[in-house]
Structure 1
Amino acid sequence: MPDKIHLENILFLDIETVPEKSSFDQLDETTQELWAHKSQYQRKNDVTAEEFYERAGIWAEFGKIICISVGYFTFKKEERSFRITTFYGGEAKLLQDFKDLLNEHFNHVKNVLCAHNGKEFDFPYIARRMIIHGISLPQKLDLFGKKPWEIPHIDTMELWKFGDYKHYTSLKLMAHVLGIPSPKEDIDGSMVRVVYYEENDLNRIVTYCELDVLTTAQVYLRLRNQDLLTDNEVKKVANE
């Protein structure tokens, strides 16, 4: 376990994504064809590309990021706190703001990023969307030429695998088996598209994303056999 990494050097994060357009018919003809080809192996025979488009948010080529929540530990004397904030709004701006945070506060060799299933989803998704928007990659997401042990990423799901490449464990299940109190979430990942496009309630999604960041940090503490965060130690800070 990476228990030698100081907690204040870790940036915990989670992203929420949706299809880039609210419906399949809003895509141009070329994109529709590309989506049909991309999704053909995931779709059942009786499911059309249009019907399957509600799941497009999981692919960076056909989806977009609507918020990135981050959390980090601070220590003052013997007092520990965990601060959470969220970047949201237009995708290009939130990606640039997130990049600025990395460059200004988490750009040292000692700094690492941590997410649940981050190596398969969050980290590459953010990098791909940055490239699509013409945003140069920050050092912490630019993996070209890096050896595996030089990549500054921690993945709580990977830690739980213990070398078993076939094993997938959701954040919710992992928190449950580790005895972490379940946050009161009123939505799950499958509902994000509806809440965003049909209910127009981004704040609700931001709250859900921030709770996942907190849960990821709690899971990481349990993997290190350290005390869980209390409610008094968790601070929501404004994104300025």
Structure 2
Amino acid sequence: MQSKISLDNILFLDIETVPEKSSFDQLDDITKELWAHKSQYQRKDEITPEEFYERAGIWAEFGKIICISVGYFTFQGDTRNFRITTFHGEENKLLQDFKNLLDEHFNHAKHVLCAHNGKEFDFPYIARRMIIHGIALPEKLDLFGKKPWEIPHLDTMELWKFGDYKHYTSLKLMAHVLGIPSPKEDIDGSMVRGVYYQQNDLKRIITYCELDVLTTAQVYLRLRNQAILKDNEVKKVAN
């Protein structure tokens, strides 16, 4: 079934998120109380809300998106390229720029979005943050009234489950077992908050995010039993 989807109709993406504030003490009293209640089931009583706040970026209600990296295939005769670009800066602007991309270039029925664990994280997170900022949802993220088979989303982790809903597999593990060369990442997801707030190094995070987009595309190619991308087929596009 996957082979029926043309590669150049897929937009691959990944997001990086951090807590909306750099520290717990910057929150107002109401938000502190709401955070304590929201995080209670995970942190239990052994960890205070303040100590647990470093993980707030996981929740769209308490976090924010600092970059969205996207990748897409282009074909010219027998030449295949994969182009990658990143939206970054103020969250409101990067979300609007991403929406413009979807509205102008990925707005037809044939177009789909693809991310690893995207149905549980990336897609709903982006939609929630757009609503918070008062941005009208693009069609590809507005799922109201759509039947499951009408939702234009692909999820490489879901495809790997083959119906086993309790099975979680990281992108890194999937890439490894499928024989995809490991990208040279110098950070992982747990380090993003520190790199952003303490080191002020967004460029480093963008590189990490773009590598995940590339790896997601490589995994998807392997799931279709197609040749993975070579280095000379990958192009970075300035945004």
What range describes the TM-score normalised by the shorter chain of this pair? over 0.9
1:154-201 Cα deviation digits (max 9, x unpaired): 000000000000000000000000000000000000000000000000
User: Residues 180-199 of structure 1 correspond to what in structure 2 (within 5 A)?
Assistant: 180-199=180-199
1:184-220 Cα deviation digits (max 9, x unpaired): 0000000000000000000000000000000000000
Q: For residue 238 of structure 1, give the secondary structure of its aligned residue in structure 2.
A: coil
CA drift of 1:121 comes to 0.1
User: Residues 24-35 of structure 1 correspond to what in structure 2 (within 5 A)?
Assistant: 24-35=24-35
Asked if residue 75 in structure 1 is aligned to residue 75 in structure 2, the reply is yes
- In 2, the alpha carbon distance for the partners of 1:178 and 1:45 equals 41
Equivalent AA in structure 2 for residue 57 of structure 1: G
- In 2, the alpha carbon distance for the partners of 1:154 and 1:88 equals 23
CA drift of 1:26 comes to 0.1
CA drift of 1:114 comes to 0.1
Identity of aligned residues (%): 86
- In 1, the alpha carbon distance for the partners of 2:108 and 2:207 equals 29
Point out where structure 2 has 5 or more consecutive residues left out of the alignment.
none
Equivalent AA in structure 1 for residue 31 of structure 2: T
1:96-149 Cα deviation digits (max 9, x unpaired): 000000000000000000000000000000000000000000000000000000
Q: For residue 3 of structure 1, give the secondary structure of its aligned residue in structure 2.
A: helix
Equivalent AA in structure 1 for residue 167 of structure 2: H
Equivalent AA in structure 2 for residue 134 of structure 1: G
1:228 corresponds in structure 2 to 228
Asked if residue 37 in structure 1 is aligned to residue 37 in structure 2, the reply is yes
2:88 corresponds in structure 1 to 88
1:51 corresponds in structure 2 to 51
Q: For residue 3 of structure 2, give the secondary structure of its aligned residue in structure 1.
A: coil
Q: For residue 57 of structure 1, give the secondary structure of its aligned residue in structure 2.
A: helix
- In 1, the alpha carbon distance for the partners of 2:57 and 2:2 equals 32
Q: For residue 226 of structure 1, give the secondary structure of its aligned residue in structure 2.
A: coil
- In 2, the alpha carbon distance for the partners of 1:179 and 1:78 equals 24
Asked if residue 206 in structure 1 is aligned to residue 206 in structure 2, the reply is yes
- In 2, the alpha carbon distance for the partners of 1:219 and 1:194 equals 28
Q: For residue 183 of structure 2, give the secondary structure of its aligned residue in structure 1.
A: coil
Q: For residue 41 of structure 1, give the secondary structure of its aligned residue in structure 2.
A: helix
CA drift of 1:45 comes to 2.4
CA drift of 1:44 comes to 3.5
Q: For residue 47 of structure 1, give the secondary structure of its aligned residue in structure 2.
A: coil
2:163 corresponds in structure 1 to 163
Count of aligned pairs between the two proteins: 239
> What stretches of structure 1 move > 4 A for 4+ residues in a row?
none
What's the RMSD between the two structures over aligned residues?
0.5
Q: For residue 92 of structure 1, give the secondary structure of its aligned residue in structure 2.
A: helix
Q: For residue 15 of structure 1, give the secondary structure of its aligned residue in structure 2.
A: strand
Equivalent AA in structure 2 for residue 207 of structure 1: T
Q: For residue 42 of structure 2, give the secondary structure of its aligned residue in structure 1.
A: coil
